[in-house]
Structure 1
Amino acid sequence: MSNSPLVFRQLFDPASSTYTYLLGDSASGEALIIDSVFEHQQRDAALLRELGLRLLATLDTHVHADHVTGAWALKQRCGSQILLAANAGADYADRLLTQGERVGFGGRFLEVRATPGHTNGCLSYVLDDQSMAFTGDCLLIRGCGRTDFQQGSPHLLYQSVQSQILSLPDSCLLYPGHDYRGLTVTSVAEERRFNPRLGGLSNEADFTGYMNNLGLPHPKLMDIAVPANLRCGRPNADAADAQAAGEQAWAPLTFTFSGIWEIQPAALLESLAGGRGKDIQLLDVREPQEFGDALGHIAGARLLPLSELPAHAGELIAAGRPVVAVCRSGTRSAQATVLLQKSGLNQVANLAGGMLRWRAEKLPVEGAAAQ
């Protein structure tokens, strides 16, 4: 095992209450993602880029019934492999995992543990030093996954939890696939003692009786999510078109982890050159006195202070051209992009670093600074 520090992030999808986990080896920069969500592929790719990590693989704990995996989409973006259980029965996976295998990233690895019961192809992943485990829907915080569909079995789930998860050291932190109350992490000792279904003095008969009488409705997205996840998230033609529509292809943009599309100063200058500037609405959202201060402003920029922006959103949308927002440092203009997107303008980007970066890169300006 490497001595390099572990990079770890716990991410959340509020629509399905799904946790996504990023693990990286700080020395090599290699990373894994567990239980990605299709709608957050841009977020995950942005975080990897900002942390300087290279995604080796996405791992799913099982074929999900409540959301579509982002495995296929991240493979297209990052060149990562798709890994999941051999028993999952899914197409398009690059590697099918079984009990006891290791998935390496840099000098670290995850141990694969088969934990069927919620579905037939459930896996849990244990970090090399057994300080952390990722249990998917097999074991939740003070709960567990249901066993009434997708080859579910109370008997198998009870055996899986007892033999593969609660057998880990007491101090091992357990990270679930979901939580619906805002809880984020538990431990083996806690669940062994306090889990009302699987802990304490509960035996298999107690657990089976509990699970067979839950009476829960099937997940709302099951008919969509399961077929898509059996393709590892590879979209059909309609879904692929919808994904493409959400991309920003009008300029060389970067999507940040904070959810903002950005354009670098040199890329903006190139986009404005050669008469192509007429295709972009360049908005400077600083105050009037700043427009002509020592930083100057970019040629062709329209002064529209942030406070006045909502009143002009309609005309900006009606113009039918992409918007690049500019301010001193990129902070106010980032907020401008959020306001415009909420108003219905999809093609909008922030100038990364604002006028400070623009001037630092010695790019041309007008106004006081050009005199």
Structure 2
Amino acid sequence: MEQPTLDEFRERCRSWLADNAERRTAEPRKFVWGEGSDSVALFSNITLEEEAEVHAASRRWEQLKADAGLGSISWDPQYGGLGLPREYERVYRSEEARFVVPESHELIQISRNIVAATIAVHGTGEQRAFFVRAMRRADLVSCQLFSEPGAGSDLASIAMRAERDGDEWVVSGQKVWTTGARFADWGYVLCRTGTAEERHRGLTAFLVRMETPGIEVRPLRQMTGGSSFNEVFFDSVRVPDSQRLDGVGEGWRVAMTTLGFERSQSMSNGRVGAPWVQYLALAHHIGVADDPVGRQLLARLYSQMQADRWTSLRGLARIKQGKAPGPEGSIAKLAWTNQNQLASTVVTHLLGAGLLADSGEWGTYAWTELIVGTPGTRLAGGTDEIQRKIIGERALGLPPEPRPDGG
């Protein structure tokens, strides 16, 4: 089929969206102090029932797009895509922004853009045929089971074991901080199949049905108030060897592919929290916009926000050129966590005691959502220390830090 021009494709997107969604009646509203929600949360803070509705609506929308050929625009046609350049993806997103569409659930984005992408690289022919198109369409959704209570960003120290038993593996252990596990059909899990001393060489990846006997999912209540994360327990869970992803002992290589897609995903996603104009409006609202210390803090925050945005754009431009993800993902992640820490300092300085109790005043106590969520951003998606290590060793070429297993 002949590749359409960008203008032709844009018209196709507009026509389909007009038939399937409600057009926004106006351009996105500019920020006005005191209007709309004052939430600046960094993590989801909704009930299980509300999250289930968001997940279901997001899933239906992805399926509807896929049926129209607009769900995987730049992906290979064998996975339900159109095989078009990434520019066409951006055209669709720009047009979709003009319509009211369901909020995207994080689990579906993880399943589509991280787990399915990893299976497309490391899966067998049968696994790719079964999972990738179904996950891209959201017929199946998968959570990512990496972190453990004793192994967060240091994946090489995970303890969950998988023991071979004929054509099956028996998996026991615990995973933690798993997004969307309560709604997942499948889990992509990293297990230890070798000794603890083998570290990287002793890991193997598996795809596991979340309804398999022996799996228990428990929600984790965060100090932000929400419970979007979960801990997942495996008690002698039997997993067919056909659900092993790549070779025995190749789990580290598979995980590195996954983390590359994860960093690319973090650059593509819009940042949560508050826009710059809301910090400035806060200073004006409480009458401290002329405070010299506050002005310096605000200037630093604005500079960090701009640098973070430009770094993400540079990384996305690299991917657009067909290159492998570079260090920009780690730099952008580290810059974002530093930005959140500085933002907490800024609002604490501006509001002072106004943060201590909910007076009902718009745009004051709500900032506690950002402050109590900031420590979590330093851990999620790789700790600050891990990001610095990646930048130092892979981008700057510095010697690796001494390790007891490094010879």
TM-score range for the pair, normalised by the shorter chain length? under 0.3
Instruction: Determine which structure has more spread, i.e. the larger CA radius of gyration.
Output: 1
Structure with the larger helix share: 2
Q: Which has the higher strand share?
A: 1
